[in-house]
Amino acid sequence: MDAATPRSRTEISGGAHTPRKHDSAHKHVTGSADYIDDMAEPAGTLHGYLGLAERAHARITAVDLDPVRAAPGVVAVLTAADVPGSLDISSNGSGDEPMFATETALFHGQPVFAVIAETRELARRAAKKAVIGYEDLPHVTDVRAAMEAEYPLVTEPLKLERGDIEAGLAAAPRRLQGEMRIGGQDHFYLEGHIAFAIPGEDDEVTVWSSTQHPSEVQHIVAHALGTVSNAVTVQVRRMGGGFGGKETQSNQFAVIAAIAAKKLNRPVKIRPDRDDDMIITGKRHDFVVDYDIGFDDSGVIHAVDASFAARCGFSSDLSGPVTDRALFHADNCYFYKDVRLVSKPMMTNTVSNTAFRGFGGPQGMLGGERMIEEIAYALGRDPLEIRKANFYGQGDDPEGRNLTPYHQKVEDNIIARIVEDLEASSNYQARRAEIIDFNENSPVIRRGIALTPVKFGISFTATWYNQAGALVHIYQDGSIHLNHGGTEMGQGLNTKVAQVLAEEFQVDLDTIRITATTTGKVPNTSATAASSGTDLNGMAAANAAQQIKTRLVAFASEKFNIPEDQVAFEPNHVRVGNELLPFGDFIKLAYQARIQLSAAGFYKTPDIHWNRATGKGRPFYYFAYGAAVSEVSIDTLTGEYQVDRVDVLHDAGKSLNPALDIGQIEGAFVQGMGWLTTEELWWDNKGRLRTHAPSTYKIPLASDRPKIFNVTLAEWAENRKPTIRRSKAVGEPPFMLPISVLEALGMAVASIADYQVSPQLDAPATPERVLMAVERLKAMVSEAYMSGEDGADA
């Protein structure tokens, strides 16, 4: 409902399933939203900066920091020797990620020391004065090169297997093999990494951190200080973007700030420049996918044998679960009768890669879609036909075509309807026919169109993370205070959880205030990741509200001598028998009767389990679905292209907030489009990241967005699982919709050879890669013409 629309007495403003603006939207636009660097600094605040290794792989033979200590304004220089507790900052406790490099540098840009100075600029300048000696060692930065050099895996690989893969491949009427390279991606959040530590009494310290995982920062800081978690309080009001990059990568900055603050007994802030932020922190994993597919003449897949090798960097970080999730999504919407999927989390001499929106799922799904594309071009068919032929069955499929490679049944499959509706609403078939006609008569500009589906599993595969807490207070005047374990990074989590609470108490949204996430109020929080923020924290908040409501109903029943079923929460009122009391007045009465008006809520996701050793289980509570049609135009002389039109139909269940959900879909699409088209990470032969600033790393601009961009929610959809108000997660699933852009570019390229040759575009499909693919197909056509082969007239 529009804010200006008159509201009846029987409605509340801003309950669940209504479009409401982000609670801080006006602050974001006006610049009044407070981030950590906007906080007033206490007197005596110091600033930190990191000194970085300048070799990709080398023994550190000497470190002279005296010039750093002598630099103007320097108060202290921290090295590994200054860490009072554990030097390990690994998120998984593996011990493979030291806070500072000591004997060996494992990637170019690895922190070796930290400077603490009176100003940030003085610290930054001083850090450059260190004199470090190195003995160079061989290094690799590429996934394939790491495999060829027999580099170790950073963690145990995973294998998903079902059926008899050798027999399935041998019996298939057709078979093909191939490779796809999938690039990484920098998070490029608007607010870079930052931490601000304020020392307290005894061993206590408060850390303001730009992190998606406050409890992990709390534990890592405590371990580094050699103390326990209750001595450390971590606070997060908001982040200027996260996208997974602040799930584990915030640890290092928080730890250094906290150690310096306690050592010097002064507040300490640390914030790297954008260049150093990009060099120091992990990114989306690059992948190399090798596949062997067996299929028949109708395009039905019989068997898939594929390996997914990833550039993980120098330590394990989250590479295990990221590469696991890649395998979980290599099937996307398709049933593989006989299947073997294997991960290869390769160590490389690069920064340790980490979580990024989709958490490996996009790479796995893209590999699966490449296989579909290969089959389509091998058979001379529309890839959409191949997709439909391989969709999972629905419900209790009599042919058993509903079992994933990890042995979970797909019980909520709605992809066929999603695709059917989108195919009709986007006029896909007529547009494809028109594009084929256009390409026949256009010597330079070629167009392409593709419709790709998405099936994305929702839940942390680490089962213990599927829990959340919330703390709800109602004050005497009826105003409500909410604190939960999720973190706000611009995605609108706080708004959605507040809407849940407004619905529970039947009060207007502006009755509720959400404060900064803090480990001092809600302990043992899970990371705000895996698209589970609203699912988990919304349910926890609802649970707290229900506890309070139960007490209030019992109070009203006793005070007014009526049955409990005659007490009801109505819009901004409580009905007690025939009397309607304003909510605030009713709460005042409850307070005076000494009714507890506070509750700690809790929720854990049911019906999930996972056995990694056997590769079997039910790792996901449910699946979210969606599909997109993308149309593109390419210039075959330059490789440049534009996205002409995109149509999206997405499943958000019964959306809690359609406005926020559509915004998430639009943002995810553009970000995913950047990953697949323009955002290229490049290391030189010395192991230095050269794409470390906006001048060398190209995220999508406003001008790159689709010229026509139609995004619709599947209004008929409703989560079959009892999630919060039957909604579905919407953070990560839409990120994979722009696979349709990559495949549309592929169709435009394939038109050069009359759609008879797979374009085999690697990601990102930069204009250079598009041009090289065009030239490759032109050469093939020319060769075929000279030899007089069929199809030479293409």
658-677 helix and 739-750 helix, angle to the nearest 10 degrees? 40
Query: How far is it, in rounded angstroms, from Cα 503 to Cα 12?
Result: 8
SS3 label, residue 682: coil
Distant-in-sequence, close-in-space partners of 111: CB < 8 Å, separation ≥ 6: 50, 51, 52, 53, 99, 100, 101, 252, 280
Dmax of the chain from CA atoms?
97
Burial class, 794, CB count within 10 angstroms (exposed 0-12 / middle 13-18 / buried 19+): middle
User: Who contacts 646 (Cβ-Cβ below 8 Å, separation ≥6)?
Assistant: 628, 629, 630, 631, 669, 706, 708, 709, 710, 738, 740, 741
Other CB atoms within 10 Å distance of the CB of residue 228? 11
Helix (H, G, I), strand (E, B) or coil at 474: strand
SS3 503: helix
If you search the block for the tokens 């809407």, which residue do you land on? 499
User: In terms of C-beta density within 10 A (0-12 exposed, 13-18 middle, 19 or more buried), how is residue 259 classed?
Assistant: buried
Segment holding 712, helix H or strand E: strand 708-713
Q: How many residues are listed for the chain in this entry?
A: 794
Print burial letters for 754-778: b (CB count within 10 Å at least 16), e (below 16): bbbbbbbbbbbbbeebbbebbebbe
Looking only at the bridges linking them, the beta strands covering 46-52 and 268-270 are: parallel
Strand-pair partners of 403: 409
User: Tokens for 250?
Assistant: 């915030």
Measured CA to CA in angstroms, residue 757 lies from 277, 375, 444, 452, 791 at distances of 42, 10, 19, 20, 11
DSSP state letter for 563: -
CA dihedral 558, 560, 561, 562 (to 10 degrees): -100
Residues paired with 135 in a beta bridge: 59
Contact 392, 401 (CB under 8 A): yes
Tell me which residue has tokens 């529009």: 2
Q: How far apart are CA 556 and CA 407, in angstroms?
A: 50
- The residue annotated as part of the active site, out of 732, 768, 775, 789, is 732
User: What is the Rg, in whole angstroms, of the alpha carbon atoms belonging to the chain?
Assistant: 28
Say if residues 89 and 224 touch (Cβ distance below 8 Å): yes
CA torsion angle for 704, 705, 707, 713 (degrees, to 10)?
Answer: 170
Phi, psi of 518 (to 5 degrees): -145, 135
Measure the CA–CA gap between 118 and 113, rounded to whole angstroms: 17
Answer yes or no: 666 catalytic.
Answer: no
Exposure letters 396-415 (e unless 16+ CB within 10 A, then b): eeeeebbbbbbebbbebbbb
What three-state secondary structure class fits 24? coil
C-alpha to C-alpha distance for 332 and 306, rounded to whole angstroms: 14
| Alpha carbons 661 and 133: distance in angstroms, whole number | 52
CA distance 547 to 550: 5
H-assigned helices in 35-119 = 66-69
Q: ∠ CA(651), CA(670), CA(646), 5° rounding? A: 65
Q: Give the angle 97-103-106 at the CA atoms, nearest 5°.
A: 50
> How far is it, in rounded angstroms, from Cα 272 to Cα 447?
43
- Whole-angstrom distance, CA of residue 105 vs CA of residue 111: 9
Which positions are catalytic? 732
